Structures are given as structure tokens and as C-alpha cells.
Amino acid sequence: MNISATNIILHSLNYNTEGVLECTKREGELPISPSIEQFLTKIHSTYQSKTNKAFASFREETGQPQVFQQALQQEMKGELDFVSFSQTAVDCLVEELQKQDFAEQGILLISKYSWTASDYLLIALLQNNESISVNENLELTNSQHLETSKIQLVTRIDLTLLSRSPESNRYLSFIKGRVGRQVSDFFLDFMGAQEGFDAKVQNQVLMKAVEEFCEKEALPVEKKQEVREVAFEYCKEQLKQGEDIELATLSEQMQEAPKLEGSFYDFVSEDYQLEQNFPADRSVMRKLTKYVGQGGGVSISFDQKHLGDRIQYDAASDTLTITGIPPNLREQLKRDTTDESSSTASDDESAPF
């Protein structure tokens, strides 16, 4: 599904030979065109596919909104035009960069667009890379292109959610660094935001709740697997549609398809700290229906339904026995063991008596 853009502007951030950050501000918006919307849709899709997103909200340490937040509020009320807002935003970013050791530079993209009944503000620092192409005279020429497939420094604000529920802790999202303080953290700092909602933790708690609900209901193995499949398919569809997991809806589907007596919604409402709705996390939800593990050069993944059937686990010897391995793996094993046998036989024939 394509997005519908209303505003877009670019500003340039570059360090000169003396190591001083220079900012070139554009004085007017880019005109919206099909190619611009296609470009923004590509960035939007890349961002949607990221699994390491985190959520945040604005902080008000002194009771007053900070510069970026105040400018955004004025823009949303129509008191500040989009160009002026974007220039204030880039000033805030430059000020924060000057405090850090990160030598980040590139093209700062700021855009407003609509998608699935919500309005968003997207801010991304894109790398302006050089590439070589061939012109009509078959000559090599240098050109610049914006990298849209590997964006890391990006944040998105759900303006609809911010207007409707300013007390929310999840209207702002960003790509989170994996370990320690990462470059992406200064994106929060320049906006005066703080991390709040953790979607991955919510998904992990949900997976745990599904398993413990099955245990509480004393479901047989087949019924457990059916419950997991229903939960997985629902979460997968929500992720595909870009929609949140709704606990009430998930509970209804779990109760209807496997015909359960107990209510999953009532169960999680008692002891689990789960939001009523939250984004699905692909890396977590796949564990509903699969066993996955790796280490020591071995990586194993298989559907849970095969345990006790095609796959047997002996806890005493810490051994997995697989019956009916995948055909492509079988062919590789046959080929390599045949080659090894032939090599051994050849060595034996040439060995002296």
C-alpha cells in the first residue's frame, strides 16, 4: 500500500575540511509528485520491515516543551509553516551533533504523509553515496544517489496518536541500537524524547502467556499446537497489514478456532503487564510455532508439531533424532559422504604394502 505525502523537504549536513559541521538548509518544500511518493513509499517500507524498532515519547523535565516539541506543536496547529519547522528541527539536530563524537553527515529528510488512516512525520538522515553509471555515449560518469535500503538514523512520529493520546508512551518510534549507546540515541536527544514502550518485551510476554495459558487449561498436545498456530497466524497477518496486535481480538480467535472454554483475555488481564494493543515482532512471534537454536557451528530450526513425531529428543543423552530430513540436505550429505568414501578408497589403493 502506497503512502500519501503532504510535505517533504531536504537539508544537507556535511563536515568541512576543518571538521566543522556545516548545514545547508533548503528554503522551500519539494513539490509532491508520483516519483516523490514512490521514493517515500520505499523508505516507509524499509522502515516498516525493521525488527529492531523501539518506542518513545516526549519528555518535559521542566514542565515546558523543548524546542523541537514546541515547534512541532506549532506546526500541527498551523502556527508555523512546514519549512520553518523543518529548519528548527535541523538546528536542533546540529546542536546535538556538536555535543557528540559521532561524525554523522548526509541528507536530512523531513516529511509528512498519511498511511492506514494515520498521519506521520518521518525524519531520516540518509547517506548520499557516489555511484558509477554509463551514459548514452558509453562513457563512465559519477552520480550521487540516496541510500534508502539501509537506513539506521530515522524516527517516525504518529501525529494522529500524539493528537488523540498525548499521554501515550509510543507515538514516537525509532530504530534502536543493538548494544550500548548507539548513534541512533542522539535522535531521541535532539527531539527531547525518552524511550518508553518496548514492543519486543510485549511480544515476549505474550508468547510466555500463550504457553502458560495452554498449561493452565491442561490442553492436550494437539490442542496446544492449534492454539499456537491460531496466535501465530493472527500476529503474522497483523504484521503484514501494519496493524497492532489487539489482545481482545486475539483472545476471540483463540477461543473460536480451537473451541476453548477458558478466556485468554481474562487470563492475561490478571497477571501479565500487557498493553491492550502493540506491534507484532517477527523475530519473537515465530517462536510460537518453531524451535530455533544455534551455537558451535550448528543451526537448527523446525516446526514444533514435528517434536515427538519426526523428531525425537532424548534429554538424558542430549540428542535429537530426525526421521525424514529435507531432500536438499539429504543430497548434500550423500554427495559429500560419497566423495569422502571415494577419496579414502583411492588413498588406500595408492598406499605402499
Taking only the tens place, the pLDDT of each residue in 28-64 is 999 999 999 999 999 998 888 777 788 899 987 655 5
The SS3 of residue 136 is coil
Q: So what's the pLDDT on residue 342?
A: 56
CA distances from 92 to 19, 23, 66, 346 (A): 19, 12, 10, 72
Q: Which among 14, 25, 49 is positioned nearest to 126, based on CA atoms? A: 14
Q: Cα(304)–Cα(287) distance, rounded to whole angstroms?
A: 9
Q: So what's the pLDDT on residue 136?
A: 82
Per-residue pLDDT of the chain (353 residues; tens, 9 = 90+): 678 999 999 999 988 888 788 889 999 999 999 999 999 999 998 888 777 788 899 987 655 568 999 999 999 999 999 999 999 999 998 888 877 766 678 899 999 999 988 999 999 999 877 777 787 887 788 777 677 777 878 999 999 999 999 998 889 998 876 544 565 677 888 899 988 877 888 889 999 999 999 888 888 888 888 888 899 999 988 888 778 899 999 999 888 876 777 889 999 888 788 888 888 888 787 877 777 788 888 888 888 778 878 888 888 898 989 888 888 888 888 888 775 555 555 555 555 54
Q: So what's the pLDDT on residue 14?
A: 87
Q: So what's the pLDDT on residue 179?
A: 47
Q: Cα(223)–Cα(311) distance, rounded to whole angstroms?
A: 19
Q: Cα(229)–Cα(240) distance, rounded to whole angstroms?
A: 16
Q: So what's the pLDDT on residue 326?
A: 85
Dihedral over Cα of 168, 174, 179, 180: its sign:
negative
Interval 72-117: pLDDT, tens: 999 999 999 999 999 999 999 888 887 776 667 889 999 999 998 8
Hey, what amino acid is at 316? Answer: A
Q: Cα(250)–Cα(234) distance, rounded to whole angstroms?
A: 7
Asked whether the beta carbons of 121 and 90 are under 8 A apart, the reply is no
Q: So what's the pLDDT on residue 62?
A: 55
**3-state DSSP helix/strand/coil % of the chain, to nearest 5:** 40, 25, 30
Asked whether the beta carbons of 111 and 83 are under 8 A apart, the reply is no
Residue 206: Cβ-neighbour burial (10 angstroms; 0-12, 13-18, 19+): buried
Residue whose entry in the numeric block shows the C-alpha cell 498493553: 275
Q: What is the number of H-type helices and E-type strands within the chain?
A: 11, 16
Q: Which among 46, 28, 31, 242 is positioned nearest to 127, based on CA atoms? A: 46
Q: Cα(214)–Cα(195) distance, rounded to whole angstroms?
A: 33
Backbone Cα Rg of the chain? 27
Q: Cα(202)–Cα(281) distance, rounded to whole angstroms?
A: 9
CA distances from 274 to 78, 156, 173, 282 (A): 36, 23, 19, 18
Beta-ladder partners of 319: 314
Asked whether the beta carbons of 263 and 248 are under 8 A apart, the reply is no
The SS3 of residue 205 is helix
Q: Cα(149)–Cα(44) distance, rounded to whole angstroms?
A: 10
Q: Which among 150, 144, 119 is positioned nearest to 129, based on CA atoms? A: 144
